[in-house]
Amino acid sequence: MAKLDANTPQAIQLRDYTPPAFLIDKVDLTFELDETQTRVISRLVLHRNPAHPDARAALCLDGRELELESVKLDGEVLDGSRYALDAESLTIAAMPDNAILEIVTLIHPETNTSLNGLYRSGANFYSQCEAEGFRKITYYLDRPDVMARFTTTVVADKQKWPVLLSNGNKVGEGQLDKSRHWVKWVDPFKKPAYLFALVAGKLSKLADKYTTGSGREVALEIFVEPADLDKCDHAMESVKKSMRWDEQRYGLEYDLDTYMIVAVGDFNMGAMENKGLNIFNTKYVLARPDTATDVDFDGIEAVIAHEYFHNWTGNRVTCRDWFQLSLKEGLTVFRDQEFSADMGSASVQRIEAVRTLRTHQFAEDAGPMAHPVRPESYIEINNFYTVTIYEKGAEVVRMYQTLLGREGFRRGMDLYFKRHDGQAVTCDDFRAAMADANGYDFSQFARWYSQAGTPVLSVRARYDASAQTYTLEVAQSCPATPGQSEKLPFHIPLALGLVGPDGADLPLQLAGENEAQGTQRVLSVKEASQTFTFVNVPVEPVPSLLRNFSAPVKLDFPYSRAQLVHLLAHDSDAFCRWEASQTLMLEDLQDLIDAARQGQPLALKDDFVAAMRQVLANEALDPALVALMLTLPAETYLADQQAEIDPDAIRAGRDAMRLGLARALRSELKASYLRLQDDSAYRFEAEAVARRSLKNVCLGYLTELDEPALLELAEQQYAKANNMTDAQAALAGLVNWAEGDAVLDAFAKKWAHEALVMDKWFTLQALSRRLGNVQQIKALMQHPAFAITNPNKVRSLIGAFVHNNLAGFHAADGSGYSFIADTILTIDKLNPQVAARLAGSFNRWKKMEAGRRAAMQAQLERLAAQVGLSRDVYEIVSKNLQ
């Protein structure tokens, strides 16, 4: 176990929140950038915060890894006796109520590998300040409830760093001496330090314009490395679509004269919503049909929208403290999901969001890192940028809309902005706005923010033919999570319909109502158990429950196979239709996994194969939906359904289903594959994307069969592909066979200089049945295109292997565990955030079969015993061992 001593990182508690002792009105920053050091001159105008309980409290500024040059208080230089300095702060005890503080610090972006604070990538400078990176730039009140007006002057060599950017509007620029130039930026909006940004370098710009609904012209600028300028068009289109959508849906306009996006190849996350100057991982900006897949194009559109939407939900209204992170993230993910639904196929978007939630968030909720949407404590806030805060948070926001309707939700949003524009607020403030704007009681709904764990909704049905009633008994429960053994009932919106024998929805009339009200209802489930009775039900229906996934719960209903087949064929709700196919599939996968574990033969059930055949034959269905219905759940998701995880049995069972379906449906799959061919130029447009997705799902099945003629189909597709979607899909089918080697080599030659494309090459091998093993991963880490300091590379090779290749990572000899522990220790010295994400690969350890469990525990204990572990990795490791 980790030792508890003075160096043991301490948890921060929500209940300890106190307002800041001082507030900052104005910040003037000057950066003198250079190769070997950067000087930061900061001038703060502060005043004592009357809301703080102690009127004489000291001023305690956050700061890390800074070299202090000087401090001046109201013009007077302070000597060392007037302040106290430690590794994390600068404290001035004797402070007037109003003051001007001038602080000069030296920093070293050129050696900063954490990609947090100011850092170098190539020869350029970039910043990343969320959550607590600004304190690595200068001493400051680095907390989101301190909002100030920023002015930033950047001074640098003009040859080396011709482009100098910061937040807001450019107000001046000039030449300082022979070599150096300067640019001054003013951000008219108050903001917390986490939204500060600075970029300096040799960058090319794609420029465009947008006219807002009220007629203001906004300059749109995307800055990238010169070689990438031909990959920015899709991102620019996405910006304009996002701006228009937010005006139309929420009446929200952009508020500055310029909206800038900068793409950088070294970045810890997806992107960052800095005011007026968003900084993006290149992965979410750069796309050309031959370099990026449909999934990439879709991801770019969604992430651009997400960051743009943050301008209102995050920046204009921000978080009081980091426990409220989901206030901005859950809400903004919900907004980007709704945007994506409007841009493409709403049902496909919804199903994909549910898949992500179930595969990743349900797992988090069931493991050692489980936490509520509003956590009560954390050791390292960077560990809380999680699927729970983001995706479950978005589901919580969605439930307001499901309960209030779209108009009611809009009323709530309007009131939220009216009350809180320019403020730093809490999840309770958001809930209050939704409640007050609609006269709706959301008091019980608060439990979605405070209780962790995935609730189980058990439904049992009774049909009384003589009384013509259909009764649903609904019960809810929620499993214990770390620190929360007992849970109180949630307020759950249960959307449902009743499907008649002919496949049509029946009219719905609850007992006590005078007449039927539509064919779909949202029931409010609030009790531990509750009964709902529908009257005038002429025939026994099949219930279609949790339509559109109306709440982030696990539904338990004892469907017969015939009922599932009925829903799969007829349900008017696309989500439930997909869900029926998944339920059937999961049931059979479980049987296959059990059979594999017991060494029994693995055979598919006829009714399942028949149902899948029908799905594939149904040309009336959206091909994207058919593709999703034919896609098996991930190995990791199957692992989470087991009482005890045997990775080999899961791999064997899942492979048997893929192979079995490929054999049984060989001719249908081939016919569909051929029917869906398309030689026209690539377009990223819903219908074409849908056709490609089904075509490539078919190819994936066909390449399961060890038949030269079928592998040739993939080779041909690779050779003639005019887009990366088809090229990658072909290669994915081939990498499991020796035939894949030649294609892998050709791919690497062709794309050696496109970092994002090489990421795909690494991932394909990391996930391959044939190549996804520790030896091969280690060998690939020596490839010239790999770099341990680059998060995209680490994620695409090592992350893909440990998080998504269950059987490969969990090799019975334990080699995966010692490999990842070694790698975590190496990366922790460079970039703790990235190391901590890899440490998440241990989160399932307690559920593994005994041998692997012991091997994983040994590596966790080895990690815990390391001296000098980062707070980030320490938190994950110690919570795993609790």
When the beta carbons of 238 and 581 are compared against ligand 0A1, the nearer one is: 238
Q: What is the CB neighbour count within 10 angstroms for residue 88? A: 12
E strands of 490-534, at which residues? 492-499, 521-525, 529-534
When the beta carbons of 196 and 842 are compared against Zn ion, the nearer one is: 196
DSSP 346-374: HHHHHHHHHHHIIIIIHHHHTSTT---SS
Q: Select the residue interacting with ligand 0A1 from 27, 66, 272, 596 (CB under 6 A).
A: 272
Q: How far is the CB of 794 from ligand 0A1 (least distance, A)?
A: 15
Q: What is the CB neighbour count within 10 angstroms for residue 670? A: 18
E strands of 517-652, at which residues? 521-525, 529-534, 542-545, 554-556
List the single partner that 270 binds among Zn ion, ligand 0A1, none, CB under 5 to 8 Å by kind.
Answer: ligand 0A1
Can you tell me which residue has the tokens 């997400």? Answer: 306
Q: What is the CB neighbour count within 10 angstroms for residue 679? A: 6
When the beta carbons of 332 and 841 are compared against Zn ion, the nearer one is: 332
Residue nearest to ligand 0A1 (CB): 269
Interacting span for ligand 0A1 (CB under 6 A) from 263-271, 476-484, 558-566, 728-736: 263-271
When the beta carbons of 242 and 268 are compared against ligand 0A1, the nearer one is: 268
> What's the rounded Cα separation, in Å, for the pair 38 and 111?
11
Contact 62, 36 (CB under 8 A): no
Q: Does 128 bind ligand 0A1 (CB under 6 A)?
A: yes
When the beta carbons of 62 and 329 are compared against Zn ion, the nearer one is: 329
List the single partner that 307 binds among ligand 0A1, Zn ion, none, CB under 5 to 8 Å by kind.
Answer: ligand 0A1
| Residues 155 to 194 in contact with Zn ion, rule: CB under 5 A | none
Q: Select the residue interacting with ligand 0A1 from 270, 507, 633, 814 (CB under 6 A).
A: 270
List the single partner that 268 binds among Zn ion, ligand 0A1, none, CB under 5 to 8 Å by kind.
Answer: ligand 0A1
Interacting span for Zn ion (CB under 5 A) from 35-43, 121-129, 330-338, 685-693: 330-338
3-state secondary structure of 204: strand
Tokens of 612: 């899948």
Contact 247, 212 (CB under 8 A): yes
Q: Is 307 a catalytic residue?
A: yes
When the beta carbons of 701 and 874 are compared against ligand 0A1, the nearer one is: 874
3-state secondary structure of 429: helix
Phi, psi of 261 (to 5 degrees): -125, 135
* Max CA separation in the chain (angstroms): 95
3-state secondary structure of 211: strand
Q: How far is the CB of 394 from ligand 0A1 (least distance, A)?
A: 11
> What's the rounded Cα separation, in Å, for the pair 50 and 827?
44
When the beta carbons of 268 and 790 are compared against ligand 0A1, the nearer one is: 268
Q: Select the residue interacting with ligand 0A1 from 32, 307, 380, 872 (CB under 6 A).
A: 307
Write the CB contacts of 159 (distance below 8 Å, at least 6 apart in sequence): 179
Interacting span for ligand 0A1 (CB under 6 A) from 268-276, 406-414, 634-642, 675-683: 268-276
CA 607 vs. chain centroid, Å, equals 37
Count Cβ neighbours within 10 Å for each residue of 769-785 and write b for 16 or more, e otherwise: eebbbbebbeebbebeb
Q: How far is the CB of 247 from Zn ion (least distance, A)?
A: 20
CA 394 vs. chain centroid, Å, equals 11
Q: How far is the CB of 278 from ligand 0A1 (least distance, A)?
A: 9
CA distances from 474 to 441, 514, 559 (A): 21, 23, 15
List the single partner that 152 binds among ligand 0A1, Zn ion, none, CB under 5 to 8 Å by kind.
Answer: none
Strand-pair partners of 128: 117
Interacting span for Zn ion (CB under 5 A) from 220-228, 327-335, 350-358, 555-563: 327-335
Give how many residues touch ligand 0A1 by CB under 6 A.
14
Write each residue from 332 to 351 as x if it is in contact with Zn ion (CB under 5 A), else as -, in one continuous string: x-------------------
Tokens of 223: 């800055």
Interacting span for ligand 0A1 (CB under 6 A) from 269-277, 359-367, 444-452, 803-811: 269-277
Q: Does 130 bind ligand 0A1 (CB under 6 A)?
A: yes
When the beta carbons of 62 and 754 are compared against ligand 0A1, the nearer one is: 62
List the single partner that 62 binds among ligand 0A1, Zn ion, none, CB under 5 to 8 Å by kind.
Answer: none
Q: How far is the CB of 138 from ligand 0A1 (least distance, A)?
A: 18
3-state secondary structure of 423: coil
> What's the rounded Cα separation, in Å, for the pair 422 and 149?
11
Q: How far is the CB of 757 from Zn ion (least distance, A)?
A: 26
Q: How far is the CB of 310 from ligand 0A1 (least distance, A)?
A: 7
Q: How far is the CB of 326 from Zn ion (least distance, A)?
A: 10
Q: Select the residue interacting with ligand 0A1 from 329, 380, 635, 726 (CB under 6 A).
A: 329
> What's the rounded Cα separation, in Å, for the pair 455 and 554?
6
3-state secondary structure of 377: strand
When the beta carbons of 32 and 273 are compared against Zn ion, the nearer one is: 273
When the beta carbons of 59 and 876 are compared against ligand 0A1, the nearer one is: 876
Q: How far is the CB of 246 from ligand 0A1 (least distance, A)?
A: 16
Q: Does 269 bind ligand 0A1 (CB under 6 A)?
A: yes
Phi, psi of 217 (to 5 degrees): -95, 130
Residue 227 burial (10 A CB sphere; 0-12, 13-18, 19+): exposed
When the beta carbons of 268 and 582 are compared against ligand 0A1, the nearer one is: 268
Q: Select the residue interacting with ligand 0A1 from 124, 282, 293, 382 (CB under 6 A).
A: 382
When the beta carbons of 145 and 329 are compared against Zn ion, the nearer one is: 329
Q: How far is the CB of 239 from ligand 0A1 (least distance, A)?
A: 15
CA 570 vs. chain centroid, Å, equals 33
Interacting span for ligand 0A1 (CB under 6 A) from 75-83, 265-273, 455-463, 704-712: 265-273
Q: Does 132 bind ligand 0A1 (CB under 6 A)?
A: no
Can you tell me which residue has the tokens 């729970």? Answer: 388
Q: Select the residue interacting with ligand 0A1 from 38, 166, 268, 386 (CB under 6 A).
A: 268
> What's the rounded Cα separation, in Å, for the pair 841 and 391?
19
Contact 33, 161 (CB under 8 A): yes
Give the DSSP letter of residue 388.
I
Strand-pair partners of 27: 44, 150
> What's the rounded Cα separation, in Å, for the pair 201 and 191?
25
Q: Does 273 bind ligand 0A1 (CB under 6 A)?
A: yes
Interacting span for ligand 0A1 (CB under 6 A) from 213-221, 266-274, 657-665, 772-780: 266-274
Tokens of 547: 């339509």
Q: What is the CB neighbour count within 10 angstroms for residue 182? A: 18
Q: Does 271 bind ligand 0A1 (CB under 6 A)?
A: yes
Say what angle helices 708-720 and 686-702 make with each other, to 10 degrees: 150
Interacting span for ligand 0A1 (CB under 6 A) from 267-275, 485-493, 674-682, 809-817: 267-275
Q: Which of 32, 102, 307, 395 is catalytic?
A: 307
List the single partner that 269 binds among Zn ion, ligand 0A1, none, CB under 5 to 8 Å by kind.
Answer: ligand 0A1
Q: What is the CB neighbour count within 10 angstroms for residue 610? A: 12
Q: Does 312 bind ligand 0A1 (CB under 6 A)?
A: no
301, HSE (Cβ side, Cα atoms, 13 Å): 24
Tokens of 788: 């341990």
When the beta carbons of 213 and 270 are compared against ligand 0A1, the nearer one is: 270
Q: Does 235 bind ligand 0A1 (CB under 6 A)?
A: no
Give the binding site for ligand 0A1 (CB under 6 A). Answer: 116, 128, 130, 268-273, 306-307, 329, 382, 385
Give the binding site for Zn ion (CB under 5 A). Answer: 329, 332
**Positions marked active-site:** 307
